[in-house]
């Protein structure tokens, strides 16, 4: 996988930095501004939002307030399911950029393959935005391998990123294999399983052995799998704790112990999720 911490790469193309700040359900404007600013100032370079989160303006203010250049930030947002017709993609993206206070974003995602989503029509509109320099990468979210196949066949431009729920309790092995073969970066949302990882003995035992947190172990495991992660965090302590996961290197045996967790717990499952999800 091409996921990396430096941004941009030597080839001038950016991949999602390994660790980012997720902002789902971060709907207190001032706290969101402060969390984004804090995350950037402690070293994050990847910030994720979405039209549906209602916080793009706060995310933009947080980026502007941080002592970090805009060119150093991998910024991503997502188009909601009722705005996926070509005209709505164009207009809603323009509104997103306005709320964010930027001329372009590094990644624009199809939030879910639902609602007005049509592979050729929707993704052709994304490709047009890419040609116009409004977005750098075309991303999709919550796509299965079959949906990725259809998306890749629909347009000539590359599908660069797929963002999905992923954590030690939902390891997505088949999807990881598909994306690695296809050269698609993976970004994990809810990478701490919405707190459930703190109840898993394998993770807490590894954490104790490293004088680390179970959150750091989960994030380090994802990194070992070549997957970027965007945990939500609001306070400085949690933001810094997640950032410290970049200093944690799991042994091969520890990665295998996490791999062996025999649980499949999907925590985000709206009624419009794709079939065979």
In the chain, what are the domain boundaries? 21-259
The whole-angstrom separation of Cα 224 and Cα 36 is: 25
Average per-residue pLDDT in the chain? Answer: 94
Element (H, E) at 204: helix 201-210
Helix/strand/coil percent split, the chain, to 5: 45, 15, 40
Rounded Cα distance between 28 and 9, Å, is 34
Q: Shortest CA distance to 226 belongs to which of 74, 6, 18, 12? A: 18
pLDDT tens digits, 105-156: 999 999 999 999 999 999 999 999 999 999 999 999 999 999 999 999 999 9
The H-or-E segment that residue 161 falls in is strand 159-165
Helix, strand or coil for residue 47? strand
The span from the CA of 181 to the CA of 177, in Å, is 6
Phi then psi for residue 165, to 5 deg, are: -65, 130
Q: Which residues are catalytic?
A: 53
Stated length of the chain: 277
Domain 21-259 sits in CATH at: 3.20.20.100
User: For residue 275, what pLDDT band results from cuts at 50, 70 and 90?
Assistant: confident
**pLDDT > 60? residue 83:** yes
Q: What is the pTM of this model?
A: 0.94
The predicted-structure confidence for 207-252, as pLDDT tens digits, reads as follows 999 999 999 999 999 999 999 999 999 999 999 999 999 999 999 9
């Amino acid at each position: 996988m091409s996921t990396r911490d430096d941004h941009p790469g030597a080839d001038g193309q950016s991949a999602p930095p390994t660790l980012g700040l997720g902002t789902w359900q971060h709907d207190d404007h001032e706290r969101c501004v402060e969390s984004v600013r804090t995350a950037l100032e402690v070293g994050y370079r990847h910030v994720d939002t979405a039209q549906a989160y209602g916080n793009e303006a706060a995310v933009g203010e947080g980026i502007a307030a941080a002592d970090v250049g805009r060119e150093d930030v991998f910024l991503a947002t997502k188009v909601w399911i009722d705005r996926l017709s070509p005209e709505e993609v164009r207009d809603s993206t323009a509104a997103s950029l306005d709320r964010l206070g930027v001329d372009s974003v590094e990644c624009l995602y199809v939030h879910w393959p639902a609602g007005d989503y049509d592979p050729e029509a929707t993704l052709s509109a994304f490709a047009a935005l890419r040609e116009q320099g409004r977005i750098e990468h075309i991303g999709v979210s919550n796509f299965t391998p079959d949906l990725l196949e259809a998306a890749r066949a629909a347009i000539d431009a590359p599908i660069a990123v797929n963002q999905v729920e992923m954590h030690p309790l939902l390891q997505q092995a088949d999807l990881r294999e598909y994306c690695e073969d296809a050269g698609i970066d993976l970004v994990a949302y809810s990478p701490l399983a919405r707190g459930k990882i703190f109840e898993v003995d394998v993770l807490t035992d590894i954490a104790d052995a490293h004088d680390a947190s179970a959150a750091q172990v989960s994030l380090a495991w994802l990194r070992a799998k070549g997957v970027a992660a965007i945990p939500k965090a609001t306070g400085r302590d949690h933001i810094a704790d997640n950032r410290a996961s970049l200093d944690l290197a799991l042994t091969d045996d520890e990665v295998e112990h996490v791999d062996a967790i025999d649980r499949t717990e999907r925590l985000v499952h709206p009624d419009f999720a794709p079939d065979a999800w």
